[in-house]
């Protein structure tokens, strides 16, 4: 089993959807990634920062699931990163209401000694210079470095973002971001341009329409499970990334064929994440539920045309 290092936010979220609204609840990219990866019982560690206002019980949720949190810096006199957003009726778009960086403004990530030789590095959505700092702290070149990012960094830190992109093996972004990054509407052409920037594997997330995995001239399409109801999309992309990274860490096989399975696991876990507010569904998620839904994914996509 490979070791997995995760860098990203551990935060407070306040969310409003057509179904209701929350006060400050547990959120953050690294939280969702860590919870998803913990489904695979891999040896993982989160590198992040929180303030003195962050409840110990939230950190315990991660450590209770085997996620090492010695790399989560606690700034006693500081306040935790806070994000608040409101989803539109179609649940596909949202407005950010509040972003308080707080302790995240001066985040200087420190990878724990025991994880500097981790084979898999998952760079959650954060300033690209923070992501780069984590990569540079690794004592060996990781077997697989995975980058998640978003349009915000393309707008304000494109040169730094391109430097990190050049250093990673896999990038996960959504369709609009792939188009923004490359100036290409066709996702096939966009993926090829992103390949040329560095990553050998490009995962394009399309929300309710699933996810595409590109590698050289090959492509794999994992549809999203059609759901009766999407309750709260927050964290779905991070959960996808955590499932993807966690599965690869567990199986120690970073071939394209096995990455297809990783995409299916990521999609499966993300389909649970959106069923409740925040991390609620991921926290009580049982292995047998995951197993049942994987079977649904198989039924959803597999067909039996004989090709002679």
Task: Write out the residues near a copy of itself by the rule CB under 8 A.
Answer: 89-90, 185-189, 206, 209-210, 212, 218-223, 226-230, 257, 260-261, 264-265, 291, 294-295, 298-305, 307
- Enter the tokens of residue 50: 């929180």
Kindly tell me which of 47 and 204 has the beta carbon lying closer to a copy of itself: 204
Residue 7 or 91 having the CB closest to a copy of itself: 91
Question: What is the rounded distance in angstroms from the CA atom of residue 282 to the CA atom of residue 286?
Answer: 9
Nearer to a copy of itself, 21 or 298 (CB): 298
Residue 34 CB, shortest distance to a copy of itself, in Å, is: 23
Q: Which is nearer to a copy of itself, 189 or 197 (CB)?
A: 189
Closest CB 258 distance from a copy of itself, rounded Å: 9
CB of 87 to a copy of itself, least distance (A): 12
Cβ distance to a copy of itself smaller for residue 139 or 296: 296
- Please say which residue, 149 or 268, places its beta carbon nearer to a copy of itself: 268
Closest contact distance (angstroms) between CB of 22 and a copy of itself is 21
Are 283 and 61 a contacting pair, CB within 8 Å?
yes
Q: What is the 3-state secondary structure (H, E, C) of the chain?
A: CCEEEEECCCEEEEEEECCEECCCEEECHHHHHHHHHHHHCCEEEEEEEEECCCCHHHHHHHHCCCEEEEEEEEECCCCCCEEEEEECCCCCCEEEEEEECHHHHHCCCCCCHHHCCCCEEEECCCCHHHHHHHHHHCCCCCCEEEEECCHHHHHHCHHHHHHHHCCCCEEEEEHHHHHHHHCCCCHHHHHHHHHHHCCCEEEEECHHHCEEEEECCEEEEECCCCCCCCCCCCCHHHHHHHHHHHHHHHHCCCCHHHHHHHHHHHHHHHHHHCCCCCCHHHHCCCHHHHHHHHHHHHHHHCCCCCCC
Smallest gap, in angstroms, from Cβ of residue 229 to a copy of itself? 6
Residue 123 near residue 160 (C-beta atoms within 8 A): no
The closest alpha carbon to 146, from 41, 283, 243, belongs to 243
Q: How far is the CB of 294 from a copy of itself (least distance, A)?
A: 6
Residues designated as active site: 238
């Amino acid at each position: 089993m490979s070791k997995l290092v995760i860098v990203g936010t551990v935060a407070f979220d306040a969310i409003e959807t057509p179904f209701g609204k929350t006060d400050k609840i547990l959120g953050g990219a690294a939280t969702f990634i860590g919870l998803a990866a913990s489904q695979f019982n891999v040896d993982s560690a989160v590198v992040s920062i929180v303030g003195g206002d962050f409840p110990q019980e939230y950190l315990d949720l991660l450590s209770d699931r085997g996620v090492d949190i010695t790399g989560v810096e606690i700034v006693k006199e500081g306040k935790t990163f806070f994000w608040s957003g409101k989803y539109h009726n179609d649940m596909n778009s949202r407005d950010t209401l509040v972003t308080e960086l707080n302790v995240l403004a001066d985040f200087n990530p420190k990878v724990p000694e025991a994880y500097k030789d981790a084979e898999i590095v998952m760079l959650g959505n954060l300033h690209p210079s923070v992501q780069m700092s984590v990569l540079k702290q690794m004592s060996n070149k990781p077997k697989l470095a995975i980058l998640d990012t978003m349009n915000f960094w393309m707008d304000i830190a494109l040169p730094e973002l391109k430097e990190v992109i050049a250093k990673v093996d896999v990038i996960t972004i959504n369709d609009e971001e792939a188009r923004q990054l490359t100036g290409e509407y066709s996702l096939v052409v966009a993926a090829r341009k992103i390949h040329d920037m560095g990553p050998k594997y490009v995962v394009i997330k399309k929300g309710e329409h699933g996810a595409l995995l590109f590698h050289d001239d090959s492509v794999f399409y994992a549809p999203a499970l059609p759901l009766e109801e999407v309750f709260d999309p927050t964290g779905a992309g991070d959960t996808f990334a955590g499932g993807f990274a966690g599965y690869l860490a567990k199986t120690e096989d970073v071939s394209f064929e096995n990455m297809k399975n990783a995409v299916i696991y990521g999609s499966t876990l993300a389909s649970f994440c959106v069923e409740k507010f925040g991390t609620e569904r991921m926290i009580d998620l049982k292995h047998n539920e995951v197993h049942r839904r994987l079977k649904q994914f198989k039924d959803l996509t597999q067909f039996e045309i004989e090709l002679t």
